[in-house]
Chain A
Amino acid sequence: MVLADHPFFKGLKPQQLQFLAGCASNVRFEQEESLYREGDEANNFFVIREGKVAIEAFSPKRGAITIQTLTNGDVLGWSWLFPPYHVHFGARAIELTRAISLDGKCLRKKCEEDHDLGYELMKRFSAVMIQRLQATRLQLLDLYDEGG
């Protein structure tokens, strides 16, 4: 099972994995295709199998500004877990990208009923968020400035 191979899902019970697999489908995005736009309803999260995705914000004057890029193996999207369930930053494939898409709406409901599954997913998403936050903090430091 493809999901079980991925480190993000490691340690989940077979039942839980089976449920997740039931909510999952393979998706593909062409280069420049949007996965989602800022403000969209957050209904999915993605596990990138192959390709490159830019997290971006759009400015009228500057156009789409890439904040971070994610690639093979990265997990993308956590807004589906938290109200108001809207994405805050857009995601766009900058290369042909193949990913697994998981149905967040369906998962949300299940997590409310099954707190065990909910806790397992929360743990894993927290870890992803911490990683992103740390990377973002380093980005903010402007490390290569002469003061670095």
Chain B
Amino acid sequence: MKPLSTESILPRIYRVQQSNQETYDTWTLEFEPVDDHDDFSFTPGQFNMVYGFGVGEVPVSISGDPTKPERLIHTIRSVGAVSRALCLLKKGEEVTVRGPYGTHWPVEDSVGHAVLIVTGGVGLPPLRPAIYQLLANREHYGRIVLLYGARTPQDMLYTTELKRWRARFDIDVETTVDTAKPGWHGNVGVVTTLIPRANFDPQHTKAFICGPEIMTRFTILELQNRGVTTENIFVSMERNMKCGNGLCGHCQLGSVFVCKDGPVFRYDQIQPFLSKREI
């Protein structure tokens, strides 16, 4: 048990180092700690509670390299008052950060397996640290496949990185969009359509899924059609979070707290709740 002393309720203070607008509503911000002795570290899949002064706090996945935690990277989509305020921050401005919280992608437990990553929209940021970790230890894994769907080509995140990964021979990258303008020569269609012919062996593959819940449900269906079993499917879930540490009750999904039992779940943990409405 990690006792939450008053000192650790107090958040750390971070300063914006860099702000990069990815799409019309999404920014990637890089932060550095104001306190030089910061000992922050995280595992892929975890999130922070990030505070915009006077506006409020939101949970945001950590999107940076877990081996370089001093460069704290958050990709934020502007969907409400707090996220909008965070997206508009300029270099030098400060935020507070509490965390890291939550469970992580089973990257280490997947050693010896192939890894299939299915994601869409802003589901990619929480997976990027896992991809970094997989590629940094490439020889320990079988095939690595990334399937990424976005609304339009303009809504794709991390386009430079995607290009870099595509150029590698040790990771398969397939992207698709829901709609495209003329000139787009890539795939058009929902990301689930990429699964039937993705190159992976269902018997020896772990699947990491992050994206809108409908996408998640249909992805799981397609994966099961191909023979991937429930203990090999991992999903990142999202619910309303206020405290981030399991005490305020908001993020409950059935019997689990998304902030501390998740956000990364093995599918069978949440299977009974995913199919029910309004849980």
> A and B: direct contact (Cβ < 8 Å)?
yes
Residues of chain A having any CB pair with chain B under 8 Å: 52, 54, 62-69, 71-73, 94-95, 134-135, 138-139, 141-146, 148
Residues from chain B with a CB closer than 8 A to the CB of A145 are 151
A-B contact pairs, 23 of them (CB 8 A): A54-B188, A62-B182, A64-B182, A65-B179, A66-B180, A67-B188, A68-B188, A69-B187, A69-B188, A72-B197, A73-B197, A135-B193, A139-B178, A142-B178, A143-B120, A143-B151, A143-B214, A144-B120, A144-B121, A145-B151, A148-B121, A148-B212, A148-B215
Give the distance in Å from the alpha carbon of A141 to the alpha carbon of B213 in the complex: 12
Give the distance in Å from the alpha carbon of A66 to the alpha carbon of B182 in the complex: 7
Identify B189's interface contact among A62, A73, A95, A139, CB under 8 A.
Answer: A139
Residues of chain B having any CB pair with chain A under 8 Å: 77, 79, 120-122, 149-151, 155, 176, 178-182, 184-190, 192-193, 197, 211-215, 218
Q: Which of A54, A64, A144 has the most CB of B within 10 A?
A: A144
B231 CB, nearest partner CB in chain A, Å: 26
B262 CB, nearest partner CB in chain A, Å: 18
Known: A65-B182, A135-B192. A142 touches B187 (CB 8 A): no
A51 CB, nearest partner CB in chain B, Å: 12
Residues from chain A with a CB closer than 8 A to the CB of B185 are 52, 94-95
A137 CB, nearest partner CB in chain B, Å: 9
Q: Are B197 and A71 in contact (CB under 8 A)?
A: yes
Q: Are A144 and B187 in contact (CB under 8 A)?
A: no
Q: Are A66 and B188 in contact (CB under 8 A)?
A: yes
B66 CB, nearest partner CB in chain A, Å: 26
Identify B190's interface contact among A63, A95, A143, CB under 8 A.
Answer: A143
Known: A67-B188, A72-B197, A73-B197. A144 touches B182 (CB 8 A): no
Residues from chain B with a CB closer than 8 A to the CB of A54 are 188
Q: Which of B121, B149, B182, B190 has the most CB of A within 10 A?
A: B190
Residues from chain A with a CB closer than 8 A to the CB of B79 are 146
A6 CB, nearest partner CB in chain B, Å: 12
Counting from the closest, the 4 A-B pairs by CB-CB distance are: A144-B121, A148-B212, A138-B190, A68-B189
Known: A142-B151, A143-B121. A148 touches B213 (CB 8 A): yes
Chain A minimum-CB-distance residue to B187? A69
Q: Are B212 and A143 in contact (CB under 8 A)?
A: yes
Give the distance in Å from the alpha carbon of A146 to the alpha carbon of B238 in the complex: 13
Residues from chain B with a CB closer than 8 A to the CB of A148 are 121, 211-215
Residues from chain B with a CB closer than 8 A to the CB of A143 are 120-121, 149, 151, 178, 190, 211-212, 214-215
Residues from chain B with a CB closer than 8 A to the CB of A73 are 197
B126 CB, nearest partner CB in chain A, Å: 14
Give the distance in Å from the alpha carbon of A145 to the alpha carbon of B26 in the complex: 12
Q: Which of B186, B188, B214 has the most CB of A within 10 A?
A: B188
Give the distance in Å from the alpha carbon of A94 to the alpha carbon of B214 in the complex: 29
Known: A138-B190, A138-B192. A66 touches B214 (CB 8 A): no
Chain B minimum-CB-distance residue to A135? B193
Chain B minimum-CB-distance residue to A66? B188
Given contact pairs A134-B218, A135-B189, enumerate 7 new A-B contacts (beta carbons under 8 Å).
A65-B179, A69-B176, A72-B197, A142-B151, A144-B149, A144-B178, A148-B214
Identify B214's interface contact among A62, A67, A71, A141, CB under 8 A.
Answer: A141
Give the distance in Å from the alpha carbon of A65 to the alpha carbon of B150 in the complex: 17
Residues from chain A with a CB closer than 8 A to the CB of B212 are 143-144, 148
Chain B minimum-CB-distance residue to A73? B197
Give the distance in Å from the alpha carbon of A138 to the alpha carbon of B122 in the complex: 17
Give the distance in Å from the alpha carbon of A146 to the alpha carbon of B149 in the complex: 15
Give the distance in Å from the alpha carbon of A28 to the alpha carbon of B155 in the complex: 33
Q: Are B188 and A144 in contact (CB under 8 A)?
A: no
Chain B minimum-CB-distance residue to A134? B218
Give the distance in Å from the alpha carbon of A72 to the alpha carbon of B215 in the complex: 23
Give the distance in Å from the alpha carbon of A66 to the alpha carbon of B184 in the complex: 9
